[in-house]
Structure 1
């Protein structure tokens, strides 16, 4: 085993994995299938890499990531935007699979993101079900939008499809409910979150499955992870507007819907919202602040294992 650090970047495509090694400059590719991944794992085990970095590619990276992590190799899946911004910052403007793999290896060497353990099999299955539910919701919304401008036979067909989608969504909800309630830990966390006025089953389960760090981070860290932390835009004597940016978009969307309900039925969030409006804040600004506050409360509840008690939650 060499004492020289070794960093690996893997560009993932549907049919192929392109691999680049730094600092040796070695490059090769394998098919993105079971046999190709076995070959990849064997070659990387021989290299004993310091870190392996892949981009998130809508699930195409999952087989390779799981295989690498299973044998104990240090692997990290990063946001594609972050990796692309890094490549541009280093002067790499062209984009090919081989260049992307090399840029990811460079990213691993310079940034060195921390490897995190993969979710267990049950969590991965629950996330897959939740992801499928999101897809069906999107399909139903698209069909409902089409239905408004149609009539006759076409309208009947769309209406039948919407009814079928409703049935499938209800079936997935039942499946998620059964699987979550079967685990004592999942059940307890679900109950804790749903004890908060404004947090329903969909919001609670989205937070649990897509934000597993909830309850383990500081309020600043969890706000940044979701994308509800106000970011400065100052330069010299100019003080720009504070805006939110980045983070986990779907989690933020679901949290927004929960916050809308909380501003009506959650006494603490409602009072906070009204106070901000009375101070002259725009409704969108006030809602964002309420999202931040609600997320902070949920994070504290899971961290301290306490259910909702409005009078005990600190501002």
Structure 2
């Protein structure tokens, strides 16, 4: 049953333009006239004042540009309905009230409030995941940030060593591995590495517990074949730089390992664990990241398409007259897109249906990222269905997968 305009009660609305130091607020009446404008500082007292004044004028619904942070928490604790209107939408809405397009906090607060008044049916109230999921999301994202820092530090160390000690750059499989960092701590310069022979290197690796597949003789030959590093009087200064990077990488690795343990512990007790861990090649970290980014507030994604669109794996279609363009969806939740595409790209190595879909996309001329997004959109529908029904993924009930398996069986026969 559709809702008629007459069935919607008139109400006062508010808009909050969030900022780092203070927030602009605008109250409007049911006819769109401004009742009051004011600002509050971003302090505990300021947020209490904001909530008190909202409740005093009978505001029940508030428009804001972001769905997290202390302001949103204060509004939700006061049992106010929060309607998130993205900055891109606000930018486009400004043209309703003038063509200048100027950015002004007080004006944006009015635009947010008026959008709540006029476009309430188009807006979905903010639904929050449980505190356990929010905590998991924070841990997962913190770990990912530290991994990015580790990659950056390893690249800086590599650039430094290519100048002062090239032999160690390709000595082991990874420059930030434990054995590579231990080698640099023991032999930080070319002069100290010159002391090594095949036997001495083998003895040192044995004491370290090295279990690599490369023989010590081969590793020693790599040192000999590489260009010579710095051996002059400035080698000591270069050593300090090398050891500084090594210390940073060790600290980052330790903290990443601790966060991984925390992610595993949080995932083990989460009610939706069985859904994400049942997906092919999800693993602990991928499952935790998918769960963290999708969340457990089922009302956030009423349809599978809503999940695919927010994840940026559904294309954006623009049509005017006879011109129709299907393009990449730039406006998306980038964390969610990265989590879904990371899973989808690897799932093809364990799921014949996923591999078939990916290969057919490549055969049509799509590059790898585009083919992964196509696969991600297909997985979004499956994940959404499992997520809504709170059921694990069951390959034997996946009809498209069974068709692919049957076709492969007939070809073999």
The TM-score, its normalising length taken from structure 2, stands at 0.68
Q: How does 1:15-164 map to 2 (within 5 A)?
A: 15-22=21-28, 23-56=33-66, 62-91=69-98, 93-112=101-120, 113-151=123-161, 152=238, 153-164=240-251
Instruction: Give the equivalent residue in structure 2 for 1:210.
Output: 293
Q: Secondary structure at the match of 2:24?
A: strand
Instruction: Give the equivalent residue in structure 1 for 2:259.
Output: 172
Instruction: Give the equivalent residue in structure 2 for 1:182.
Output: 269
Distance across 2 between alignment mates of 1:86 and 1:101: 12
| Cα distance, 1:68 vs structure 2 | 1.6
Aligned positions, number: 306
Q: Larger radius of gyration, structure 1 or 2? A: 2
| Cα distance, 1:266 vs structure 2 | 1.8
Distance across 1 between alignment mates of 2:152 and 2:93: 36
Distance across 2 between alignment mates of 1:85 and 1:129: 35
Q: Which stretch shifts more, 17-26 or 89-98?
A: 89-98
Show structure 2 runs of 5+ residues with no match: 1-8, 162-237, 401-413
Distance across 1 between alignment mates of 2:334 and 2:382: 20
Q: Is the 8 A contact 1:9 1:19 kept in 2?
A: yes
Distance across 2 between alignment mates of 1:197 and 1:313: 12
Q: Is the 8 A contact 2:150 2:252 kept in 1?
A: yes
Q: How does 1:259-274 map to 2 (within 5 A)?
A: 259-274=344-359
Residues 85-143 of structure 1 show CA distances to partners (whole Å, capped at 9, x for unaligned) of 32245435222322222222222223322223333333332332233223323322322
Q: Is the 8 A contact 2:16 2:63 kept in 1?
A: yes
Q: Secondary structure at the match of 1:233?
A: strand
Q: Is the 8 A contact 2:136 2:288 kept in 1?
A: no
Instruction: Give the equivalent residue in structure 2 for 1:243.
Output: 328
| Cα distance, 1:214 vs structure 2 | 6.4
Distance across 2 between alignment mates of 1:250 and 1:144: 23
The change in CA–CA distance for 1:145 and 1:182 in structure 2 (over 3 A counts) is same
Q: Aligned-residue CA RMSD in angstroms?
A: 2.4
Q: Is the 8 A contact 2:60 2:81 kept in 1?
A: yes
Q: Is the 8 A contact 1:214 1:222 kept in 2?
A: no
In the alignment, is residue 312 of structure 1 matched against residue 358 of structure 2? no
| Cα distance, 1:171 vs structure 2 | 0.9
Instruction: Give the equivalent residue in structure 2 for 1:14.
Output: 20
